[in-house]
Amino acid sequence: MKKLLLGDEAIAQGAIDAGLSGVYAYPGTPSTEITEFIQLHESKRGADAAPIFCRWCVNEKTAMEGALGMSYMGKRAMVCMKHVGLNVAADAFVNSAMTGVNGGLVVVAADDPSMHSSQNEQDSRFYGKFAMMPVFEPSSQQEAYEMIGKAFDMSESCRLPVLMRITTRMAHSRAVVDITESPRRQNEKRFPEDVRSWILLPAFARRRYARLVEQQSELVRLSESSSHNSYRRGEEPSRAVVACGIAYNYLKENCPEGCKSSVLKISQYPLPEALIGQMVADGAEEIIVMEEGQPVVEEMMRGLVPSTVAVKGRLTGELPRMGELTPDSVRKALGMEALPSREADDLIVPRPPALCVGCGHRDMYTALNQVAAEYKDARIFGDIGCYTLGALSPFHAIHACVEMGSSVTMAKGAADAGQWPSVAVIGDSTFTHSGITGLLDCVNSRSNVVIVISDNLTTGMTGGQDSAGTGRLEDICRGVGVDPAHVRVVVPLPKNMEQIKSVLREEFEYDGVSVVIPRRECIQTLKRHAKQQKKQ
Amino acid sequence: MKKDIILAGVGGQGILSIATVIGEAALAEGLFIKQAEVHGMSQRGGDVQSNLRISSQEIASDLIPVGGADIIVSLEPMEALRYLPYLKKEGWIVTSSVPFVNIDNYPDIEALREHLDRLPNRVVLDVEQLAREAGAPVQSANMVLLGAAVPMLDIEYEKIEAGVRRIFQRKGEEVTAKNIAALRAGYDNSKK
């Protein structure tokens, strides 16, 4: 059966068809649509079909651990996140290679080269290598669909988690995908045979690590025989191209009749050493490595080929050092002339994203800016979400934004250093993701901070997913130990401006931990809910 | 048959609905499709584009190369010009003439019009006005624009209309009829 699917949706469909029992995820561009697709599928599930767990998790670490627990029970589990989410999940992720798996466990990390919607372009393949796990990197939506099933099979046969790494253009591009008519059934519940492998006490862990090290050569052999890796000797084998993941598509785009150079397609890691050896034996004198993200393979390649072979790519300037690949950058690296094109129009100006008209974050920033201006040197630490756009015109409100939850703890650190007023601005979903622990630090240190939790009752930036703490934020703050008199709720609307400002002023003046919660539903989800109601 | 189309606009204007309809029609025709979209932060009122490729042969790249687009279909005149380097020499621009001004330094509208007029292959329409005249809400302006692009698509009008019908049918007969009226208005005006 043929369906038009986003890469993310092809992965979701592939997992469903491979007998998935649970997907564990926190929303993050460009990975969000994987879980959303499974949620939609679940909402239409027939009464006799086995359920798939698909509720959003609080953060990527809890997601990774939940999936590991499901794998422990012998069932197939998938974890999905954006690349920086893997930093949050890293402790569980790296150690899941130590415990190994029972039911198949696949971790999907969606990298965002060119930073379309992210703060860096870290390459998740490093994590795979670091944790010594097999890594899959599909080149097309069809391959992504097929690979997920293979990843689960391999995870169960090797007893290891498998990392699937995709990038924005794979995640957010649609293509026609041929899907199976006969999906696999879910695994039955089954405890692991060797409980000790799941108890990472040093004595047991050393044995596990020895096993993991020993398995590496087997993983290389599996890469060498994988149908997803292929080597083809070219007419002119002195030059070879190594194309990883979707780079292979850009290569094919530019050489529709086939390439004169030898071509090594890589979609499964660790690197297929025998295929690289064959490429050199065929006379490769120059190897151009094309890969999305960081020069991971380019660096490793240097250790695998004789020093007389020139390895080229992002590090040597044949391809740009930063940003995603394009058919054009690959064309240039192949030494082909650019297609004839027009000059850019000189009238064009950038149109940066902005907070929606009518958004509650806008009223929050208007009030905060006015109160902060009454002080000589207020510092406002921002966080990750729509409200990061408060950094841009017209607000220019925040002085830092680093990673999930950092507003709270950076405001605390600044207060420790003597800053006053020291303010954090964090959204409700980001607060439950990684802000609560920082708030406990503030309480324990009696820090002089004002934590603004701008609550729009949703995870807005990624399209309005459920937010883990909705309806319980005050309870959470009081439970962590914030003085109830200094947990204040306001409604961010222009008509309430004077009241919001006076609440902020009072909390700026209070020497201790204050939480101010401006609360009004995201206007995007409000519109959606109104539409749904009208339908009913 | 092979058409590389850049859909452009401002986040929230509805360029993805255009892509959905063309995709639906192309799928029914048994064509290959690739369509790269923009999600996440950039959708919030910023410039957005989608690369839509349809072909009777398999398509390799999700992205259209510079100088490779057959058509730019844009819901906003400045956004139409943003992707000019991607347009083939003989390519077409089909754009709304209605500026969406949400930035302080939006270029002079007359100058913008003049730049568009310099292009030999262009269709510039007030799609919002045409939607109203067709008795459709202004949200259907994207279907007017799609209608205007149909003559350059190499897919018959009836097949695109059938695509609109299939996409909108779950929203009821009235919504479907209005979107088809909008599509028709764009198509008729494009041929003039």
Q: Mean per-residue pLDDT for B31-58?
A: 88
Whether residues A442 and A416 fall in one domain: yes
Encode pLDDT of A301-317 as tens digits.
999 999 999 999 999 99
Pairing label, strands A487-490, A449-454: unpaired
Any CB–CB contact under 8 A between B65 and chain A? yes
Any CB–CB contact under 8 A between B114 and chain A? no
Whether residues A326 and A384 fall in one domain: no
Q: How far apart are CA A213 and CA A133, in angstroms?
A: 10
Describe the crossing of helices A124-131 and A296-304 by its angle, rounded to 10 degrees. 50
> In Å, how far are A327, B5, B38, B50, B86 from B67, measured between CA atoms?
11, 12, 21, 16, 4
Alpha helices in B92-149 (DSSP H): 109-117, 127-133, 141-149
Q: How far apart are CA B149 and CA B144, in angstroms?
A: 9
What phi and psi values does residue A295 have, to the nearest 5 degrees? -75, 60
Whole-model pTM over 0.90: yes
Q: Mean per-residue pLDDT for A66-73?
A: 98
Which of B35, B46, B66 minimises the CB distance to A353? B46
Token digits of residue A406: 């950092």
Pairing label, strands B122-125, B87-96: parallel
DSSP state of B150: G
Burial of B82 (0-12, 13-18, 19+ CB in 10 A): buried
Inside any domain, residue A531: no
Q: Mean per-residue pLDDT for A132-146?
A: 98
Which of B39, B46, B47 minimises the CB distance to A30? B39
Encode pLDDT of B110-133 as tens digits.
999 999 999 999 999 999 999 999
Cis check: omega of the bond before A394, within 30 degrees of 0: yes
Whether residues A241 and A216 fall in one domain: no
Q: Mean per-residue pLDDT for B129-158?
A: 95
**What separation, in Å, do the N-terminal and C-terminal C-alpha atoms of chain B show?**
25
Average pLDDT, chain B: 94
Whether residues A57 and A95 fall in one domain: yes
Q: Are the beta carbons of A354 and B112 separated by less than 8 Å?
A: no
Q: Mean per-residue pLDDT for B173-192?
A: 93
Whether residues A407 and A299 fall in one domain: no
Domain of residue B48 covers: 2-99+108-190
Inside any domain, residue A350: no
Whether residues A210 and A245 fall in one domain: no
Whether residues A113 and A22 fall in one domain: yes
- Strand arrangement, sheet containing A135-136: A20-25, A76-82, A105-111, A162-167, A135-136, A268-269
- The amino acid at residue B191 is K
Which of B23, B43, B81 minimises the CB distance to A4? B23
Which of A333, A350, A369 corresponds to the end of one domain?
A: A333
- The CATH number for A286's domain is 3.40.50.920
Token digits of residue A64: 């990774």
- The CATH number for B150's domain is 3.40.920.10
Query: At residue B75, does pLDDT exceed 80?
Result: yes
Encode pLDDT of A343-360 as tens digits.
999 999 999 988 999 999
Nearest CA in chain B to A328: B65
Domain of residue A443 covers: 360-526
Confidence of residue A534 (pLDDT cuts 50, 70, 90): confident
Three-state SS at B179: helix
> In Å, how far are A355, B3, B126, B131, B164 from B161, measured between CA atoms?
35, 18, 21, 16, 5
What phi and psi values does residue A133 have, to the nearest 5 degrees? -105, 155
Residue with tokens 């993310």: A8
Q: Are the beta carbons of B40 and A29 separated by less than 8 Å?
A: yes
Q: How far apart are CA B180 and CA B184, in angstroms?
A: 6
Confidence of residue B14 (pLDDT cuts 50, 70, 90): confident
Query: At residue A535, does pLDDT exceed 80?
Result: no
B81: chain A residues, CB-CB within 8 Å: 345, 347-348
Inside any domain, residue A299: yes
- The CATH number for A152's domain is 3.40.50.970
Domain count for chain A: 3
Q: Mean per-residue pLDDT for A66-84?
A: 98
Inside any domain, residue A349: no
User: Which secondary structure element, helix H or strand E, spans residue A6, and what is its range?
Assistant: strand A2-6
Encode pLDDT of A361-376 as tens digits.
999 999 999 999 999 9
Inside any domain, residue A297: yes
Print the SS3 string covering A166-207. EEHHHHCEEEEEECCCCCCCCCCCCCCCCHHHHCCCHHHHHH
Q: Mean per-residue pLDDT for B101-110?
A: 94
Q: Mean per-residue pLDDT for A316-324?
A: 97
Contact A178, A142 (CB under 8 A): yes
Whether residues A39 and A144 fall in one domain: yes
Window 124-183 of B, Cβ < 8 Å to A: none
Nearest CA in chain B to A173: B36
CA angle at residue B45 from A526 to A352, to 5 degrees?
A: 140
Confidence of residue A536 (pLDDT cuts 50, 70, 90): confident
Average pLDDT, chain A: 97
Looking at the complex, report in whole angstroms how far the Cα of residue B3 sits from the nearest Cα belonging to chain A: 14
Q: Mean per-residue pLDDT for A499-520?
A: 98
Domain count for chain B: 1
Whether residues A84 and A146 fall in one domain: yes
Q: Mean per-residue pLDDT for A146-173?
A: 98
**Which pLDDT score is estimated for B42?**
62
B27: chain A residues, CB-CB within 8 Å: 2, 4, 176
Token digits of residue B179: 């979107």
Whether residues A218 and A265 fall in one domain: no
Burial of A184 (0-12, 13-18, 19+ CB in 10 A): middle
ipTM value > 0.90: yes
Confidence of residue B45 (pLDDT cuts 50, 70, 90): confident
Whether residues A170 and A197 fall in one domain: yes
- The amino acid at residue A460 is G
Evaluated on CA atoms A455, A116, A20, A223, the torsion sign reads negative
Q: Are the beta carbons of B44 and A386 separated by less than 8 Å?
A: yes
- The amino acid at residue A361 is H
**Which pLDDT score is estimated for B192?**
67
A251: chain B residues, CB-CB within 8 Å: 60
Query: At residue A320, does pLDDT exceed 80?
Result: yes
Q: Mean per-residue pLDDT for A100-126?
A: 97
Contact A396, A371 (CB under 8 A): no
Residue A33, phi-psi category: left (phi > 0), alpha (psi -120 to 50), beta (remainder): alpha
Residue length of chain B: 192
Contact A517, A487 (CB under 8 A): yes
Query: At residue A533, does pLDDT exceed 90?
Result: no
Alpha helices in A282-386 (DSSP H): 296-304, 327-333, 360-372
Q: How far apart are CA A467 and CA A473, in angstroms?
A: 11
Contact A121, A93 (CB under 8 A): no
DSSP per-residue codes, A454-504: EB-SSBTTTT-B--TTTT-HHHHHHHHT--GGGEEEE---GGGHHHHHHHH
Q: How far apart are CA B9 and CA B75, in angstroms?
A: 5
Cis check: omega of the bond before A421, within 30 degrees of 0: yes
Whether residues A16 and A72 fall in one domain: yes
Rg (CA), chain A: 25
Cis check: omega of the bond before A270, within 30 degrees of 0: yes
Residue with tokens 């696999």: A184
Q: How far apart are CA B53 and CA B19, in angstroms?
A: 10
Nearest CA in chain B to A350: B47
